Amino acid sequence: MPPFEVKIEKLIYGGDGLAHHEGATVFVPFVLPAERVAALAIEQKKKFIRAQPETILEASPERIDARCPHFGVCGGCNYQHIPYSQQLEYKTEILRETLRRIGRIEWTAAIATHSSPQWEYRNRAQWKIRPAAETEHDADEDGARQAGRRAKKEDAKLAIGYFRANSTALCAVEDCSILAPSLLSALLALRNALAQGKLPQALREVEVFGAEATGASPAKLLMTATFAGFPARAAELAAEFRSIVPQIESLLFHDPGRDRMELFGPGFLEYEAGGEKYRVGHFSFFQVNRFLAGAMAEEVAQKDEGGKLALDLFAGVGLFSLPLAGRFERVVAVEANPAAARDLENNVRGKGAIEVRNSDVDRFLERCKEKPDLVVLDPPRAGMTPDGIRRLARIAPARITYVSCDPSTLARDLAALIAGGYELAEMQLFDLFPQTFHMETIARLRRRE
């Protein structure tokens, strides 16, 4: 199909612009509403077309130059062509539209928006590593092993970066403006080391979580290196990693094919947010925006009216549990991930009447007999299960605060909670992910009288 012309109608969740062409819905990334675009189809079905912009025929007056030279190729950012203030406005519009379309919720009241510094905010990153001569290979384990075998030539060079959008082809990067300074420093150091052949060909991925330098405390990094074949002389290689990236506090080597791991260091680092210190381990989740994590904890916990009992479901390492302890007589923190639950137990020790349950949330709610004043929900992107929603409605907490990273599942779950006897009282948007389509939402609900 040759390039075709469309006019972009609006932006939708996922980063694309929406248009129509000859009866089909067209999705085009890196565009703005009202732009005329010559687009090239990359996937075509009967009723929809996914396309790439070939030429911007008529640009929006809002369009700006992207800061990153990899924008449009790398799959990480979606909105660098949009001024930051406009990004916030589009996200708010998308949130309202998603509530209406999926949840049949007409939210016409204000949505308080919490902005972030738009650059250098990410405290976590996952970098893919592939032979520089290869652009794409199978994403499964066999493909990774085949790629590793092909790369064992003496002159093979490794590149580091991110996968391209909707692809397993590597976009090797020389910069990443959304990374916190310590992470960018680590990325560039690893890039140089790979180019010099200092790291093994079996290295496939590096994930880093970092705490930036504060006062006399230096920056510290938690690094997990994944291999297609566990490295020989692991201790020597760990020392090499530390010489390349001196900020490493804890280093974990992982070979998923053989289910083998080896740890070099304490296995965690301490991270400060909102005046509290949290132990965060290699397999624990923590909010990725270093500027807004503390503000979210304050909004969720310290601005609640308090009471006798609060449940913190999907508690992670306790970002909300700790400040909730200052508002409630008892807090029960529920976390299914054993690694995160261990960090949680450490973090709540001596912090008030906080009880930790290492349990699946649905199972916990099935057995719960108490009626809490507040339930805080911070589920993964998939949201709550139908059984979880029903069981939550059964115990009938007076208030629910829902923290969501996906407006689609949020809209679905809010509709179910409203049907179960709640009313939506407040909506807030925390922009944890500037330059991307992602958004974090805090919704407050109250039990109807």
Which residues are marked as active site?
405
Query: Rounded to whole angstroms, what are the CA distances from 252 to 167, 177, 234?
Result: 27, 26, 10
Residues 6+ apart with CB under 8 A from 100: 106, 107
Gap between the Cα atoms of 30 and 429, Å rounded: 22
Q: In what order do the strands lie in the sheet with 111-114?
A: 111-114, 422-430, 440-447, 399-404, 374-377, 307-313, 328-334, 354-357
Three-class SS of the chain = CCCEEEECCEECCCCEEEEEECCEEEEEECCCCCCEEEEEEEEECCCEEEEEEEEEEECCCCCCCCCCCCECCECCCCCCCCCHHHHHHHHHHHHHHHHHHHHCCCCCCCEEEECCCCCCCECEEEEEEEECCCCCCCCCHHHHHHHHHHCCCCCCCEEEEEEECCCCCEEECCCCCCECHHHHHHHHHHHHHHHCCCCCCCEEEEEEEEECCECCECCEEEEEEEECCCCCCHHHHHHHHHHHCCCEEEEEEEECCCCEEEEECCCEEEEEECCEEEEEECCCCCCCECCCHHHHHHHHHHCCCCEEEEEEECCCCCCCHHHHCCCEEEEEEECCCHHHHHHHHHHHCCCCCEEEECCCHHHHHHHCCCCCCEEEECCCCCCCCHHHHHHHHHHCCCEEEEEECCHHHHHHHHHHHHHCCEEEEEEEEECCCCCCCCCEEEEEEEECC
Query: Rounded to whole angstroms, what are the CA distances from 267 to 21, 131, 230, 280, 343?
Result: 53, 29, 19, 9, 10
